[in-house]
Amino acid sequence: MTLIPLLFNGLSYGVLFFCMAVGLTVTMGMMRFTNLAHVSLCMLGGYFLVQLTAVWSVPFLVMLPLVFVLTAALSAALEVAVLRHFYRSDQLSQVLLTIGLLYMSITAAAWFWGPSYKAVQLPQWLVGQVEFAGMSFERYRTFLLVAGAAITAAIFYGLERTSFGATVRACVDNQRVAAASGLNTSLVYTLTFAIGGGLGGLGGALSANMIGLDPNFPLRTLVYVLIIVSVGGMGSIMGTLAAAMLVGVLDVLGKYYLPSYGGMMIYLIAIGVLIWRPEGFFRMKGQHA
Amino acid sequence: MKRSLTALAAAGFIAGIGMAPAIAQEEFKIGVLMSYSGISATIGASVDEALAHYMEEHGDVVAGRKIVLVRRDTTGPNPEVSRRAAIELITREKVNVIIGPDYTPNVLGLAPVLNEMKTPAIITGAASDGIVQAQSPYYLRTFYSVSQNIKPLAKWAYDEGFKTIVHVTADYGSGINAEEVFKATYEEAGGKIVEAIRVPLRSPEFSGYMQRIKDANPDAVMVYMPLGELPLMFLKAYSDAGLNKSDIKLIGVGDLTDETILDAAGDTALGAMTAAVYSPSDPSPENQAFIKVQDEKFGGEPRVSLSHVAGWDAINIIYEGLKAQEGKPFDPDAFIAFAKGREFTSPRGPIKVDPETGDLIQNLYFRKAEKVDGEVRNIPFHVVPAVVP
């Protein structure tokens, strides 16, 4: 009977990773842009949440969309001001640029919010456990699963059923043809980037309560997010979802069944999957160099 | 009248300028080697506050020497950076004594430098056993040693009626050291460790471990973790899993509920019983006076913690050591010899520098995290006096 709570904990953990990684997988897959500073946006989402609760005491459920909008706006600004000038650079320059931004964000966060951990004030209805079939489940994790399902549904609906989604897919498949057909690709890029950043901020805000929020947040999460993106396959949302859930579940299971080696589990999965399928779970269709 | 006064003042002023070089005091430089950035920047900030507080109270001139602090950042557990910073402090800045470093790896990395340059250093933040005098004759420590804290804690836990324990520590040198010491003492007393969990240092997700604790259902959970994110995440996961409402008691070394993380931990820390060499809630007059000035000067941010007191005691030893060498050029060997065996009064209670290990012989406070005046505090309920390192 311990397996069910473990799976529950693992899946809710996976939701956090999915939210944080999905924006990165889109920018890496679609724009071929390696944006390591994506995790900084996640951290900022967390700090926005703390700031909004502490200063304006906005209700939690109103706050999450607000965090999304704020981080999305910030991502768009970042894309327009800095990142878009480097789309044509080689990957090493992109990595150096964005890792620099990441370190800047760490120092900036320490300056604004201080170096210590910030606690997230949750509404009472998200604190504690619920009993179900003789097992206790954390309310916050239940909420994470519901929120995760809603976010996933929204992403898939947006990509598959809306004309903006069709435009994004067109740009992912072949940017030059899309531009030649009259699509404003640079606007699509900015918007996609904003949405990816916004989702990251939302993921960061949701994880702040579970994995802690301090200026070092980006460095702590970067490895996990990169593993999920590469295991899932760059540009594949389905793959990112699968990889995030797999990493979340196996991390929790590993820590339970093999407490001495549990921390190594995710690295072993990453190595295994990448040997088996170097492109990740889901190879992108029609990928071009 | 007025004019003559002005003239007199001017003359005095000019004379003052002229005299200045003649009476210029010899400088005595203290290097402060702490984490000022990164995960433990709070430690540097805390030590700085304590040093500023001490120097304001005791003046910045000791035995005719003007005290000057020179700060360097270790950036966290980073022996390469600390070593470079220490060499720079000693050779370029010509510091006579160092306060710091923090973290065991930094302490180990620095030892050869101190031996070669004959520069005393007072460690304020690394707890491993056998890293003080055993590493360098120039090391002293105003922190605590793992054994000093854990041996009495293990005995107390057994006497308190905890017959089975799950031991949780972080998977690093000091953590394994702590686990061995606890296990030996506790099992000798008659208790049983039903499970020993070592969590990775960078592991933000604890729910798997919590399930293990639930299944083992011990009398108590004993936690030893380095100051910072891990204890915070542990407390969070522990209460999220509902374990803080179960019959299982949570015990640990003071870092688990250190004042630097207590505000962030909030209610999740309530009920945790920890053993620490300092307790800010201790009612002794020295401590209360210390806390009062700290809060007035710095607004209580970060909260007064062991790091503050470790910095305070370190500079106190330096001041006293300098007074003993009044009028003579600074002799590092005589300084260490002076400090050994000496007794001081500290906000943490009476302390004595153990001549053998270079550690402090000091009180160990058992505290319980409780909510007082709307904030969580460690309230002492039991004291073991003069614990040897």
Q: What is the DSSP string of B340-373?
A: TT-EEEETTEEEEE-TTTS-EEEEEEEEEEEEET
Cβ contact B39–A140 (<8 Å): no
With vertex at residue A281, the alpha carbon angle to CA A275 and CA A283, rounded to the nearest 5 degrees, is: 105
Alpha-carbon distance A119 to nearest alpha carbon in chain B (angstroms): 5
B110 Rama sector, left if φ>0, alpha if ψ -120 to 50, beta otherwise: alpha
Angstrom distance (rounded) from CA A173 to CA B184: 63
**Chain A residues in contact with chain B using a Cβ-Cβ cutoff of 8 Å:** 2, 5-6, 9-10, 13, 107, 110, 115-119, 128-129, 136, 138, 140, 209-212, 214, 216, 220, 251-256, 259-260, 262-264
Angstrom distance (rounded) from CA B173 to CA B103: 11
Cβ contact B197–A110 (<8 Å): no
Which amino acid appears at position B20 of this protein?
A
Check if the beta carbon of residue A36 is closer than 8 Å to that of residue A99. Answer: yes
Query: Is residue A270 assigned to a domain?
Result: yes
What is the average pLDDT score of chain B?
Answer: 89
DSSP string covering A185-206, please? Answer: HHHHHHHHHHHHHHHHHHHHHH
Tokens of A178: 């899309």
* DSSP at A79: H
Which amino acid appears at position B159 of this protein?
D
pLDDT of the residue at A265: 79
Provide the terminal-to-terminal Cα distance of chain B, rounded to the nearest Å.
68
pLDDT of the residue at A233: 85
Indicate whether B333 pLDDT > 60: yes
Check if the beta carbon of residue A220 is closer than 8 Å to that of residue A211. Answer: yes
For B58, list phi and psi in degrees, rounded to 5. Answer: -105, 5
Check if the beta carbon of residue B227 is closer than 8 Å to that of residue A81. Answer: no
Q: Could you say which residues of chain A have pLDDT below 50?
A: 286-289
Check if the beta carbon of residue A19 is closer than 8 Å to that of residue A229. Answer: no
Residues of A in contact with B215 (CB under 8 A): 2
Q: Which residues contact B220 (CB under 8 A, 6 or more apart)?
A: B157, B162, B164, B165, B166, B248, B249, B250, B251
Report residue B4's pLDDT band, with 50, 70 and 90 as the boundaries. low
- In CATH terms, are B28-144+286-358 and B147-276+365-387 the same topology? yes
Q: Which residue range is the domain that position A170 belongs to?
A: 3-110+141-276
Nearest to B236 by CA among A219, A5, A118: A118
Q: Which residue has the tokens 């805390």?
A: B46
Q: Which of A184-193, B9-18, B157-166, B177-186 has the lowest mean pLDDT?
A: B9-18
Nearest-CB residue to B41 (from A5, A115, A251)? A115
**Chain B residues in contact with chain A using a Cβ-Cβ cutoff of 8 Å:** 37-42, 45, 171, 195, 197-200, 202-209, 211-212, 215, 229, 232-233, 236, 240-242, 260-261, 263-266, 302
Nearest to A22 by CA among A216, A217, A153, A163: A153
pLDDT of the residue at B9: 53
The sign of the dihedral angle between the CA atoms of B268, B270, B271, B276 is positive
At A232-269, the pLDDT tens digits run 888 788 899 999 999 999 988 888 888 777 677 788 88
What residue ranges do the domains of chain B occupy? Answer: 28-144+286-358, 147-276+365-387
Alpha-carbon distance B200 to nearest alpha carbon in chain A (angstroms): 6
Most B CBs within 10 A among A20, A127, A220, A255, hence the mutation to make, goes to A255
Query: Is residue A123 assigned to a domain?
Result: no
If one looks up domain B147-276+365-387 in CATH, what number appears? Answer: 3.40.50.2300
Query: Is residue A283 assigned to a domain?
Result: no
pLDDT of the residue at B19: 46
Indicate whether B327 pLDDT > 50: yes
At B50-109, the pLDDT tens digits run 999 999 999 999 988 999 999 999 988 889 999 999 999 999 999 999 999 988 889 999
pLDDT over 90, % of chain B: 70
Angstrom distance (rounded) from CA A283 to CA A230: 11
Nearest-CB residue to A9 (from B195, B207, B302)? B207
Residue B91 vs residues A253, B32, B88: alpha-carbon distances, Å: 52, 15, 5
Whole-prediction pTM: 0.81
pLDDT of the residue at B39: 66
Instruction: Give the pairing of strands B375-387 and B360-372.
Output: antiparallel
- Tell how far CA A228 is from the center of its chain: 10
What are the strands, taking DSSP E only, across chain B? Answer: 26-34, 61-62, 65-73, 97-99, 121-123, 139-141, 164-170, 192-199, 220-224, 249-253, 273-276, 343-346, 349-353, 360-372, 375-387
Residues of A in contact with B266 (CB under 8 A): 119
Residue A263 vs residues A229, A284, B167, B264: alpha-carbon distances, Å: 19, 30, 17, 25
Cβ contact A259–B197 (<8 Å): yes
Q: Which residue of A has its CA nearest to B44?
A: A115
Cβ contact A117–B302 (<8 Å): no
Domain count across chain A: 1
Tokens of B389: 């390192």
Alpha-carbon distance A217 to nearest alpha carbon in chain B (angstroms): 10
Residues of A in contact with B42 (CB under 8 A): 115-116
Which secondary-structure segment (H or E) carries A136?
A: strand A135-138
Residue A276 vs residues A41, A224, A280: alpha-carbon distances, Å: 32, 19, 9
Cβ contact A2–B215 (<8 Å): yes
Q: Which residues contact A166 (CB under 8 A, 6 or more apart)?
A: none
Angstrom distance (rounded) from CA A54 to CA B257: 23
Global ipTM: 0.77
Q: Which residue of A has its CA nearest to B168?
A: A259
Query: Is residue A172 assigned to a domain?
Result: yes
Residues of A in contact with B241 (CB under 8 A): 129, 138
Residue A170 vs residues A84, A161, A181, B253: alpha-carbon distances, Å: 19, 13, 10, 58
Nearest-CB residue to B211 (from A2, A115, A140)? A2
Q: Which residue of B has its CA nearest to A259?
A: B197
If one looks up domain B28-144+286-358 in CATH, what number appears? Answer: 3.40.50.2300
Alpha-carbon distance A138 to nearest alpha carbon in chain B (angstroms): 6
Residues of B in contact with A253 (CB under 8 A): 208
SS3 A118: strand
